[in-house]
A = this chain, B = another copy of it.
């Protein structure tokens, strides 16, 4: 991996890297924030998964997370949201919710997507192995994300609780088997067999596997996508059934934007720092 850009930020370093991903079969960029404490020795990491249309740059530039990460000594690892580049399939109509910028953190099984769209394996394995080999990281991990990325964070943590100490999400797509975004993306990437979809549905996974990790979710009440796409109540019901440690905070007046994330990212980083020790 090589540095594309590096900038001082809150006494630490905001860095953009490029590397050749063998899992995704293309060249990828991702962003990292290293807090000042990383100059002294290995630090734990919070992985951040972004939502539809985002790259690794949105969270880095808009969430204001580096201030608290610098205080708490947390690295931030921010992957892109899909494979990229020439030859990577995209939706033929250029839809924002399928293809480029919309990888949904799954391993696609259907053509033409299965050639590159393996964001699940990329975020779970290839990217952590790479950054933990190259950067001063302790190997302790938490994970968070927004919308499609909140879905990704929950799915990755629920299926791999040994890999993370805690998970949080902003406005996650909580039950993608039962919303238009999920139908479209899971149908395209995984085919029509809904048993395949269940491996990527946080509410179904919570019931089938339970969860020992603490889960924090923030959801804006003025979010336009709340009732049709996000459905946090499905997650609450599942957590009740599974007796899981889920805190859902409904935030009055807040929408789906980065102004919402910026307003509450401090709480999420402090939540993860407590569990990262």
Which residues of A does B touch, CB under 8 Å?
7-11, 14, 61-62, 64, 66-67, 220, 222, 251-255, 257-260, 262-263
Q: Is the CB–CB distance between A260 and B8 below 8 Å?
A: yes
Q: Is the CB–CB distance between A61 and B11 below 8 Å?
A: no
Which residues on the B side are within 8 Å of A62 (C-beta)? 61-62
Q: Is the CB–CB distance between A7 and B257 below 8 Å?
A: yes
Nearest to A263 among chain B residues (CB) is B10
Q: How far is the CB of A170 from chain B (nearest CB, A)?
A: 13
**Main secondary structure on A side of the interface with B:** mixed
Nearest to A70 among chain B residues (CB) is B263
Q: Is the CB–CB distance between A14 and B259 below 8 Å?
A: yes
Nearest to A13 among chain B residues (CB) is B253
Which residues on the B side are within 8 Å of A253 (C-beta)? 8
Q: Is the CB–CB distance between A8 and B67 below 8 Å?
A: no
How long is the Cα–Cα vector from A61 to B62 in the complex, in angstroms? Answer: 6
Which residues on the B side are within 8 Å of A260 (C-beta)? 7-9
Closest 6 CB pairs of A and B: A64-B64, A8-B253, A9-B259, A8-B254, A7-B259, A10-B263
How long is the Cα–Cα vector from A143 to B66 in the complex, in angstroms? Answer: 25
28 contacts between A and B (CB under 8 A): A7-B254, A7-B257, A7-B260, A8-B220, A8-B222, A8-B251, A8-B252, A8-B253, A8-B254, A8-B255, A8-B259, A8-B260, A8-B263, A9-B259, A9-B260, A9-B262, A10-B263, A61-B61, A61-B62, A61-B258, A61-B259, A64-B64, A64-B262, A66-B259, A66-B262, A66-B263, A67-B262, A67-B263
